[in-house]
Structure 1
Amino acid sequence: MRVQVFGILLCVGLIPIIFLFSVITNTYDTQMVSQRTDELQSYGTVVSNLVVSTGYLAGHSSAEVDNETEEIANIYQGRIIIVDKDLRILKDTYGLEENKTLISTEVVKCFGGSSEKKYVNDLGGYMQLTMPIVDPQFDEVCGVIVISYSVKNLEHISREVSHRVLFLLLGIALIIIILSFACSLVLTTPLKKVTDSINDISKGDMDIKLDMHGYSELVKISESFNQMTDVIRKQENSRQEFVSNVSHELKTPLASMKVLSDSLLTQEGMPEEIYREFLGDITTEIERMTKIINDLLSMVKMDKNSAVMQVANININGLLEQLLKRLRPIAAKRNIELVFESYRPVMADVDEVKISIALNNIIENAIKYNYDDGWVRVTLNADHKFFFVTVQDSGVGIPEDLQDNVFERFYRVDKARSRETGGTGLGLAITRNAILLHRGSIKLYSKEKEGTTFTIRIPLNYIP
């Protein structure tokens, strides 16, 4: 990755330099040629005025015109040609074409009344400037001056300037290369540290901590990484604890059954009542183990990563009434009043099986962990978006410091009481998973020895 980052930074730095070099050299060349052309145009105007004032085009010789043209041609290593109306060459500083006819596009354009004051052609090593000679008295073109001049000295100057600019930009490029390499190290070293840490985690080392300083982004990455490792560590600890709890919960009834069965096998002549009592205890342990296994299966089905939702539009009022009908005999055994209050008819998109399990667990716990002659109140309400189920009881309550743990798997507030009531410690974990599958939420309020209130909120319309 360091090579890629270095390459990207290098390209970002060098491409503008190459473009800048091209722009500078081209602009300088253009400006030099333009400046030289403007100079010669000024000299051409001077010669044009001399030609008109001396009557040179009418055949009058003029040493002043000859000297001026020769001097200009020598200074700029060029050639000056003066042409009259008949396209006849009156003056050639090279002395080769005098009295001959000159026909060129630029000359013809000058005599044709074009508004252009000059024409410049690139002849490869030479530039040609063509200008009309205007008689101010009649305001008409009476001749043409053609100035050809060498640009070799300009090319030499341009090369010198280009070399200097190139050396300067090469120095800047070297600095950019060094800075790009340094930046690639600065940028990729923390990322490599993160990558190495992730590889260590994948190998099972969960005690990795990142401590990066400097840029705020790196600090955020470090904090997010450490939060992620904390979550992974908690999940791993939870998994190990879960396996340990499952093993323990299944081992306990098996151990009890083994002790009871060994007693039946080793002791001869035991009364029938003892046999019946031991077999009854074995049946109880089998039922307890069956309940644990069923709860484990329910929890697996409620797992959000593998659960399949069978959503249908269900009458929540009717569903709660059916649940309470099944639970009333359990409440009646301890003279617990079970009350249902519904404020309006509620229809919602839910998985009937999963939501029934969740609500049944909450209401059944309210009955189990209650005092004799107590009460349980179930309330149903809804707004335009959610329906709400509140389960209140007058039971034993949950200590405040333990309330955050009640939704964990195999967690029991009072293990002795849970064993008496047949609890497995999975009910609330199953309930929470079922509610989360419906994109809902569950909140708990409890005060020890005064009672507990669970508030469930679930969307009326299921969102996959």
Structure 2
Amino acid sequence: MSIKKKLLLQHLLIVSLTVVLLETVFFLGLITYYYTGAADMLKNHAVSSAHFANRYLELSGTPLQQSLPKLKEHFQIPQAEMQVLSPNGNILYSTVGFSQHDQIKTPDMKQLDASQANSWIGKDEMTHERILAVAIPLEDQGYPVGILRYVASLKNVDAMVIKLCTFAVLIGISIILIVMLLSITLANSLTKPLLEVTNASKQLAKGHLETRMNEHYRGEFGVLAKSFNEMGSELLRHEKMKNEFISSISHELRTPLTSIKGWSETIMTGNLEKKEETKSGLQIILTETDRLIEMVEELLDFSRFTNETMKIQRQTFLAAPLLHSVTKQFEKQLLAKKQKIELQIDDALELYADRNRIKQVFINIIDNAIKYSEQPGTITITCRQVKQAFVCDCTDQGIGIKTSDLGNIQKMFYKVNENSPGAGLGLAICQHILQLHHGKLTITSSYGKGTTISFTIPLLSSSFKSSGGSD
């Protein structure tokens, strides 16, 4: 069952139950007001009439039969028939004429009490009309001599009650219909954005990443639409970066492979006696092979990163020797760009981490610093202990990073310059490595002046090391 149908059924059920309960209360109040009110009015009149009639009979000393005209004159009411009955229920006198009724045995005639009147609602045996009857005994000197009874037709009362009940039912039905129309409108307002989200999601699933939702909805649906569009934009950006990555990595792989193939053919078809040329070609092949291995390793790291299978193997090592060996790898690049590295590190600073992964972080950070420093300058690397953490800052005097790029620089495939070498994975992988070490990577930059890349790793306690703790 759809959400729309569920909402409509729920609203219909709640409103219908509410209307039925209110109608029930109204009907009970209506019946009480008209029928009980009529019975109470007739009872009050019967009690007061019987009281005065008893006083009259007592003071006048006239038998009941001779007092009937006086009783009719003083105690009848236009809204009801007044009857005077014998103690056994036979009609002695009626304001509408004597009837040939048999003995009256209706419930109002049972267990009569001189202090109060009995009432009964039922059907007249002759006319089959609904009536209200009230009876009270008449006494002379404390002895029952007859019964004073009033009978009123309920035809007008029934008609009024039916009319009001019908009117109330029509109002209730109207309320239900109005609420249902409002519920349909409300359900449409709720389900329309959900249907739009569903359809948009299907389009995204089919690969139409440019699909967007209207953001004019209010409240949570507006937030949902905005979040969906942001998700679509992010997916589209990732798809674009993925395609650019594939294009870039294809180009990156093609270049060394072309060099390797070209020099291999040159060596095979050339004069092997030219040792310098052969040695130069083999050196190029070796260099390009190393470059291919680095790219493959980066792709493997990317695969581990996306599949969350990258693991770290902790060991205790000194940070200074590792950093010195890494900087030594960049001597040729530093010489070519007339740059130098200044190291500030305590030789006794010890880490308990994955040595190869931390080396990878150092390599990526220093490589970026050299790559984006287009003029002679100094790269300063400062490593120190701050409380219980190892902190490393790498500051260059390069081109810097624009504020608009700074928030995306650590995302996968993101490159400030699309023509720059690499796949845009280095910093993203570094960040993941540091997260596995419970550390973090931060980048601050001033465009045109330089960039500082910092990372922090907690220095684990000796108790953790001795327990063989791992991530």
Q: TM-score, normalised by structure 1?
A: 0.72
Give the whole-Å Cα distance in 2 for the aligned partners of 1:129 and 1:439. Answer: 93
Could you say which residue in structure 2 is the equivalent of 1:26? 28
Q: What is the CA-CA distance between 1:158 and the residue it aligns to? A: 1.6
Q: Is the aligned partner of 1:426 residue 2:417?
A: no
Could you say which residue in structure 1 is the equivalent of 2:68? 63
Deviation track 1:48-82 (CA, whole Å, cap 9, x = no partner) reads 3123312469984232674279845x834686768
SS in 2 for 1:41: helix
1:303-322 superposed matches below 5 A: 303=306, 306-308=307-309, 319=316, 321-322=317-318
Could you say which residue in structure 1 is the equivalent of 2:281? 278
Could you say which residue in structure 2 is the equivalent of 1:376? 381
Could you say which residue in structure 2 is the equivalent of 1:75? 79
Q: Structure 1 residues 26 and 449, CA, compared in 2 at 3 Å: closer, same or farther?
A: closer
1:180-199 superposed matches below 5 A: 180-199=183-202
Could you say which residue in structure 1 is the equivalent of 2:41? 39
Larger mean CA deviation between 371-380 and 45-54 belongs to: 371-380
Question: Counterpart amino acid of 1:327?
Answer: L
Give the whole-Å Cα distance in 2 for the aligned partners of 1:426 and 1:101. Answer: 104
SS in 1 for 2:298: helix
8 A Cα contact 1:107 1:144, kept in partner: no
SS in 2 for 1:338: strand
SS in 2 for 1:222: helix
Could you say which residue in structure 2 is the equivalent of 1:205? 208
Give the whole-Å Cα distance in 2 for the aligned partners of 1:24 and 1:354. Answer: 83
Could you say which residue in structure 2 is the equivalent of 1:393? 394
| Aligned residues with identical type, % of pairs | 21
Give the whole-Å Cα distance in 2 for the aligned partners of 1:278 and 1:356. Answer: 34
Q: What is the CA-CA distance between 1:13 and the residue it aligns to? A: 4.4
1:37-436 superposed matches below 5 A: 37-55=39-57, 60-61=63-64, 62-63=67-68, 66-67=71-72, 71=76, 75-76=79-80, 107=111, 110=113, 151-213=154-216, 215-303=218-306, 306-308=307-309, 319=316, 321-331=317-327, 336-340=341-345, 352=354, 356=358, 359-361=361-363, 364-365=366-367, 375-382=380-387, 388-401=389-402, 403-409=406-412, 425-436=424-435
Deviation track 1:287-321 (CA, whole Å, cap 9, x = no partner) reads 21111111221222223xx3257689x7xxx85x5
Give the whole-Å Cα distance in 1 for the aligned partners of 2:89 and 2:356. Answer: 109
Question: Counterpart amino acid of 1:54?
Answer: Y
Q: What is the CA-CA distance between 1:202 and the residue it aligns to? A: 2.2
Give the whole-Å Cα distance in 2 for the aligned partners of 1:122 and 1:309. Answer: 90
Q: What is the CA-CA distance between 1:226 and the residue it aligns to? A: 2.0
Q: Structure 1 residues 41 and 414, CA, compared in 2 at 3 Å: closer, same or farther?
A: closer
SS in 1 for 2:214: coil
Larger mean CA deviation between 202-211 and 37-46 belongs to: 202-211
Q: What is the CA-CA distance between 1:273 and the residue it aligns to? A: 3.0
Q: Structure 1 residues 197 and 413, CA, compared in 2 at 3 Å: closer, same or farther?
A: closer
SS in 2 for 1:390: strand
Give the whole-Å Cα distance in 2 for the aligned partners of 1:96 and 1:283. Answer: 132
Unaligned 5+ runs, structure 2: 124-129, 332-339, 461-468
Q: Structure 1 residues 276 and 160, CA, compared in 2 at 3 Å: closer, same or farther?
A: same
8 A Cα contact 1:410 1:425, kept in partner: yes
8 A Cα contact 1:396 1:451, kept in partner: yes
Question: Counterpart amino acid of 1:258?
Answer: K
Equivalent pairs counted in the alignment come to 432
Could you say which residue in structure 1 is the equivalent of 2:334? none
8 A Cα contact 2:443 2:453, kept in partner: yes
Question: Counterpart amino acid of 1:38?
Answer: D
Q: Structure 1 residues 101 and 365, CA, compared in 2 at 3 Å: closer, same or farther?
A: closer
Give the whole-Å Cα distance in 1 for the aligned partners of 2:188 and 2:409. Answer: 49
Deviation track 1:381-431 (CA, whole Å, cap 9, x = no partner) reads 24xxxx654322353435132544542446667899x87xxx775321201
Could you say which residue in structure 2 is the equivalent of 1:454? 453
Give the whole-Å Cα distance in 1 for the aligned partners of 2:384 and 2:84. Answer: 110
Question: Counterpart amino acid of 1:292?
Answer: M
Q: Structure 1 residues 201 and 103, CA, compared in 2 at 3 Å: closer, same or farther?
A: closer
Q: What is the CA-CA distance between 1:451 and the residue it aligns to? A: 5.5
8 A Cα contact 1:390 1:453, kept in partner: no
8 A Cα contact 1:250 1:289, kept in partner: yes
Larger mean CA deviation between 264-273 and 448-457 belongs to: 448-457
Give the whole-Å Cα distance in 1 for the aligned partners of 2:83 and 2:455. Answer: 101
Give the whole-Å Cα distance in 2 for the aligned partners of 1:309 and 1:450. Answer: 35
8 A Cα contact 2:23 2:172, kept in partner: yes
Question: Counterpart amino acid of 2:72?
Answer: N
Give the whole-Å Cα distance in 2 for the aligned partners of 1:210 and 1:252. Answer: 43
Give the whole-Å Cα distance in 2 for the aligned partners of 1:180 and 1:403. Answer: 49
Could you say which residue in structure 1 is the equivalent of 2:463? none
Larger mean CA deviation between 181-190 and 120-129 belongs to: 120-129
Q: Structure 1 residues 175 and 405, CA, compared in 2 at 3 Å: closer, same or farther?
A: closer
Q: Structure 1 residues 436 and 323, CA, compared in 2 at 3 Å: closer, same or farther?
A: same
Q: Structure 1 residues 104 and 19, CA, compared in 2 at 3 Å: closer, same or farther?
A: closer
